[in-house]
Structure formats: C-alpha cells, structure tokens
Amino acid sequence: MLSLLAIALAATSTPTVESGGLERRFGLEGSLFLPVNDGFGAARDLGYGAAVSASLHGSFASFGLQFALHFGPGERTARYVDLGTSLGVLLTPIDGPVTPVFGGGLGVRYISVRGAADEVELGTVIRTHYRTAPSDSTFGAGAQARGGVLFFKDGPMQMSLIGEYTAVFTDGTPQAFVISFGVSA
C-alpha cells in the first residue's frame, strides 16, 4: 500500500525549486516503534506507525515539519498511542546516489497509555463483573536524534531509511527507538 501511494505521489509531483535553490518535497514514512523504558506503561511491545512530512531541501541540509502517529498493542487490552509533531533538520554532508544523513528535531507529543484490563467479580448472590483498565495521557515537549541514509537525493523521488531515538519530557520520560522507511517527492 505504501509503495503504491509513493509511486502515485512521484508520478503526480516533481520537486518544486524555491528561490535560493531550495527544493520543496512532501513525504510519507512507515515505521516500527520500539519503547525502551517504562514510560509507555504495560504495553511495551513493538508498535507501528506512519508519518507525513513537508520539507525544504538544500545542498547540505533539509528542514522539515513532520506529523507522526504510532500505536502499540499490548496484552489484555493494554496499548499506547503516540501522536507527535516535530520541526527538525537533517544534514547531508555528501552528495551521491546513497547519502548519509544525521540530525535532530524538537516538537510536541501527545501520549496516551492504557494498562492491562482486570476483571473483578463482585457479590455472592447477585454477581456483577467489573472491568477496569488504568489509563493516563499527557502532552509534553519532545526531542529526537536521527541518522540514516537517503537514496537518490537529487532525483525526482527520494527514499530514506532512518533510525531515530526520541524522548518526551513528561513523567517517566517515555523514550523509544523508531526505524522508518520513507519516500518523498
């Protein structure tokens, strides 16, 4: 599905060159989300997600705005949802068909965590089942460091393979490692 959308995106748009030699691009990413501490609650399992971005690419750097959504299922209805927006920079020190990139960004994130559901039976004559699942949600400032490779940097369609370490500055400081594959045109 992602590849079909990428082909359609590449076929319908070409990078727009702004004044000063900057190219405007739009991108899509699919990602695996790996929580690395207890900040995401009981649902610390592998998650997945997607992101859309808009960026300006120059000779040595790109500046972008990204909106991302990550979801992680857990056992017994536990789950987490991570919704973030970030503004960042990626440096591209060399040109070529395979270009290393590194950089970082700052943003705002919303995290919602629900713990595993417990079912309690109340009463001896008339029995009632009560189901509860602890939950918490918060907004917080976030920061991330990114590194990876960009394929076909100067072509009409780029592909990227990026690793990202992200932290959200809230109670418990949720931290995660994100591996994403993306396309931009």
Residue 19 has φ and ψ, to the nearest 5°, of: -65, 145
N- to C-terminal Cα separation, the chain: 17
Q: Which residues pair with 130 in a beta bridge?
A: 120
In single-letter form, the type of residue at position 80 comes to: Y
Q: What is the DSSP string of 88-121?
A: EEEE--S-SSEEEEEEEEEEEEEEEEE---EEEE
- Please enumerate in sequence order all residues whose Cβ is within 8 A of that of 172, keeping only pairs 6 or more positions apart, or say none: 37, 38, 39
What is the average per-residue pLDDT within 5-31? 61
> In this predicted structure, what is the pLDDT of residue 153?
81
pLDDT tens-digit map of 58-76 = 878 888 899 998 888 766 6
Q: Residue 129: pLDDT band by 50, 70, 90 thresholds? A: low
CATH architecture entry for 2-6+26-184 = Beta Barrel (2.40)
Q: Answer with the residue of higher pLDDT: 116 or 149.
A: 149
Containing 69, the helix (H) or strand (E) segment is strand 61-73
> In this predicted structure, what is the pLDDT of residue 22?
80
> In this predicted structure, what is the pLDDT of residue 45?
73
Q: Answer with the residue of higher pLDDT: 144 or 119.
A: 144
Half-sphere CA count of 68, side-chain side, radius 13 A:
30
> In this predicted structure, what is the pLDDT of residue 12?
36
What is the average per-residue pLDDT within 73-98? 82
pLDDT, the chain, mean: 79
> In this predicted structure, what is the pLDDT of residue 160?
92
User: Both tokens of residue 107?
Assistant: 């943003």
> In this predicted structure, what is the pLDDT of residue 9?
38
pTM to 2 decimal places? 0.74
Q: Is pLDDT at 5 greater than 70 in this prediction?
A: no
Domain ranges within the chain, ordered by starting residue: 2-6+26-184
pLDDT tens-digit map of 28-50 = 999 998 888 776 666 567 889 99
